[in-house]
Structure 1
Amino acid sequence: MKNFALIGASGYIAPRHMKAVKETGNQLSVCYDINDSVGIIDSISPQSEFFTEFERFNEHVWQLKRSPETALDYVSICSPNYLHHAHIAAGLRLGCDVICEKPLVPTSALLNELALVEKETGKKVYNILQLRHHQAIIDLKQKVASEKKADKYEVELTYITSRGKWYMESWKGDPRKSFGIATNIGVHFFDMLHFVFGKLQKNVLHYANDHKAAGYLEYENARVPWFLSIDINDLPDSVKGKQPTYRSIAVDGEEIEFSAGFTDLHTISYEEILKGNGYGLEDARHCVETVEYIRTAPAVAAEPGEAHPFLRHLV
């Protein structure tokens, strides 16, 4: 049994990490969050210690280190994006391996910095790249590898997850803290595209504001117009009033259905990490570099064949 700490216990994704620790037969020893709306702990790990000040959390972890039975093995991080780097470094320096949500960090320079901390501490960072464990994505990757098409696949990525007014008042709506729409909600899709279709060869931004972004990515084996949005008005008429989210990946006109099976992917990710098969800093580099460029790139007019169909409603 491994001992875990969780930083960011009141966040949206935290319960999936709590359940993953429990379902892999391990112990959630201590949780930390500046917010105390963490009643979910009662239904998953009521014995966990909980702190709302990092200083008290840090001191408690140091006390746990005195005994091999209580010393932490892993620190899991679900804090706001802009705190990931500091919390990852703190976890490594506490003598733990670290499991962190996406985006791992906003820049490749910070990836390099974490690599230095890994070397200094002898501990390792793992990124949750859960779509790599989704069976539909695994099947698509195998199909691409086996078909060896002469031409590139024509792929269209659309992800609309409508959010209320609270979103822009939270850290997620602050680009200094979330790093913007493409990073906050797009990074795991960009990682998935790289995982399936190979190295990125072209990265173009067509549109970006606080609520949506669109662009074009070209990989070794695919051409991908993409569109991301938190605006409910962008939902297709076919789903408006029926569901708040629209998720679509079409490959050569064929829809890849992967809406089901999301809830267990964190547990699978933990299982693989515990077996030594987790995704580390270099696995995350490709998607970090992709969103780093998108954040700083100027929006340009789309070339023929590179525009997402939804782009015509924006420009």
Structure 2
Amino acid sequence: MNNATAVAPLRVAIIGAGQVADKVHASYYATRNDLQMVAVCDSRLEQAQAFATKFEITACYDDVRLMLQAAQPDIVSVCSPNRFHFEHVLAALEAGCHVMCEKPPAMTPQQADQMRALAHKQGKVLAYDFHHRFSLDAQLLREQVQSGVLGEVYLTTATALRRSGVPGWGVFTNKAMQGGGPLIDIGIHMLDAAMYVLGFPPARRVMAHSFQKLGTVKSSGQFGEWDPTQYTVEDALFGTIEFQNGSLLRLETSFVLNIAETSRLNVTFCGDKAGATLFPAHVYNDVNGELNSIIQREQADDNRHFRSMDAFVRHVLGEAVTIADADQGFVVQQLVAALYESAEKGEWVKIC
């Protein structure tokens, strides 16, 4: 006789029924039989209803707190616009849920700090979908850096540049809703990947310059059309982070910039023993004027989103797996805020 008791699937709710909730969060949850999506919430009820139909979710809402009270989920994915991450994450944590939140963590470091404090107080997992760090490439390079193969890494360059890649949907050009443009949208991803590989060294200060030259005069690009009169974010931002050990991280990010390539998305690391490129992972040095490959992956790992979601769920289930946690999310938010502050003031900004 089998006395084993069947374990009920964890109940999952999703806040924000947009593209990332569809293509990443719900698509991953649907692959697991130990999870059950029970509710979805969106400020546009008709969008929540369409989402619920697609994923066979029984309940849809346009009020977050009502959903949390009625559905009583164990896990919540926060996929709402940046401006609402803070209130939605806090509501989910207060309801006793584990939370996977899209990047950025919030609009300010103060908000990200409150979010991590509440997660610790509640004893719940708060993770952020910084998916590039979950690539096999990033994990390989982190091992190489931590084991000393590159020696002292004194210069890192994180690049997230688009020639004409202003998103033509959502609120990506609205600073009040997003908190900024390419830095907080795509640059933050490469910043997190670089920090992860480096082992999150403490920063001393930052300097940055931002530009708004093209987004207010152009109106279309590879990702559709936008209204230049409503374009309130930066076109591009270029910054330098100085770490307490004296090493530097340079960050280059843009939605629209006159470069030859459609986009550049990568991180390079320069050490005194070897250098490396993130996508695909390649570790190399110079031998008598010739490039010598130490480790080289032929193709970058494109299963990053899946690995990010999988790590979060496994962590919730008690496995000792690494996630992009609330503490590291706070550090990344601090750096982003300092870069924006420096660009506005035109001076170095110290990291407390």
For the criterion TM > 0.5, the same-fold answer is: yes
Deviations 1:19-67 (A, max 9, x none): 2212233111111112334645544x2234222x21xx53343234xxx
The alignment's TM-score, normalised by the length of structure 2, stands at 0.71
The secondary structure found in structure 1 opposite 2:147 is helix
Alignment-derived partner of residue 226 in structure 2? none
Alignment-derived partner of residue 41 in structure 2? 32
Distance in 2 (CA, whole Å) between partners of 1:24 and 1:222 is 43
Q: 1:172 to 1:287 in 2, by over 3 A?
A: same
Q: 1:224 aligns with which of 245, 249, 269?
A: 249
Give how far 1:78 is off: 0.6
Higher-helix-fraction structure? 1
The secondary structure found in structure 1 opposite 2:106 is coil
Alignment-derived partner of residue 59 in structure 1? 66
Indicate yes or no: 2:337 matched with 1:283.
Answer: no
Distance in 2 (CA, whole Å) between partners of 1:110 and 1:131 is 23
Alignment-derived partner of residue 307 in structure 2? 265
Distance in 1 (CA, whole Å) between partners of 2:167 and 2:73 is 39
Distance in 1 (CA, whole Å) between partners of 2:336 and 2:166 is 24
Contact kept, 8 Å, 2:187 with 2:251, in 1: the verdict is no
Q: 1:199 aligns with which of 202, 205, 209?
A: 202
Indicate yes or no: 2:320 matched with 1:296.
Answer: no
The secondary structure found in structure 2 opposite 1:34 is coil
Contact kept, 8 Å, 1:6 with 1:78, in 2: the verdict is yes
- Which segment drifts farther, 205-214 or 253-262? 253-262
Q: 1:221 to 1:130 in 2, by over 3 A?
A: farther
RMSD: 2.8
**What percentage of aligned pairs have identical amino acids?**
17
Q: Partner letter of residue 283 of structure 1?
A: Q
Deviations 1:112-161 (A, max 9, x none): 32345346645442222322321101111111111265543433222124
Alignment-derived partner of residue 100 in structure 1? 101
Distance in 1 (CA, whole Å) between partners of 2:237 and 2:173 is 14
Alignment-derived partner of residue 137 in structure 1? 138
Alignment of 1:165-244 (within 5 A): 166=168, 170-181=170-181, 182-197=183-198, 198-209=201-212, 210-219=234-243, 220=245, 222-231=247-256, 233-235=257-259, 237=260, 239=261, 244=262
Give how far 1:173 is off: 1.1
Distance in 2 (CA, whole Å) between partners of 1:175 and 1:249 is 26
Distance in 1 (CA, whole Å) between partners of 2:310 and 2:120 is 27
The secondary structure found in structure 1 opposite 2:172 is helix
The alignment's TM-score, normalised by the length of structure 1, stands at 0.78
Contact kept, 8 Å, 2:241 with 2:250, in 1: the verdict is yes
Indicate yes or no: 2:5 matched with 1:5.
Answer: no
Distance in 2 (CA, whole Å) between partners of 1:63 and 1:150 is 54
Distance in 2 (CA, whole Å) between partners of 1:155 and 1:199 is 14
Distance in 2 (CA, whole Å) between partners of 1:165 and 1:126 is 25
Distance in 2 (CA, whole Å) between partners of 1:19 and 1:33 is 17
Aligned length: 283
Distance in 2 (CA, whole Å) between partners of 1:267 and 1:123 is 16
Indicate yes or no: 2:264 matched with 1:255.
Answer: no
Deviations 1:229-281 (A, max 9, x none): 111x434x2x3xxxx43312223365332454234233333343334444432
Distance in 2 (CA, whole Å) between partners of 1:72 and 1:103 is 23
Q: 1:124 to 1:260 in 2, by over 3 A?
A: closer
The secondary structure found in structure 2 opposite 1:228 is strand
Distance in 2 (CA, whole Å) between partners of 1:165 and 1:96 is 32
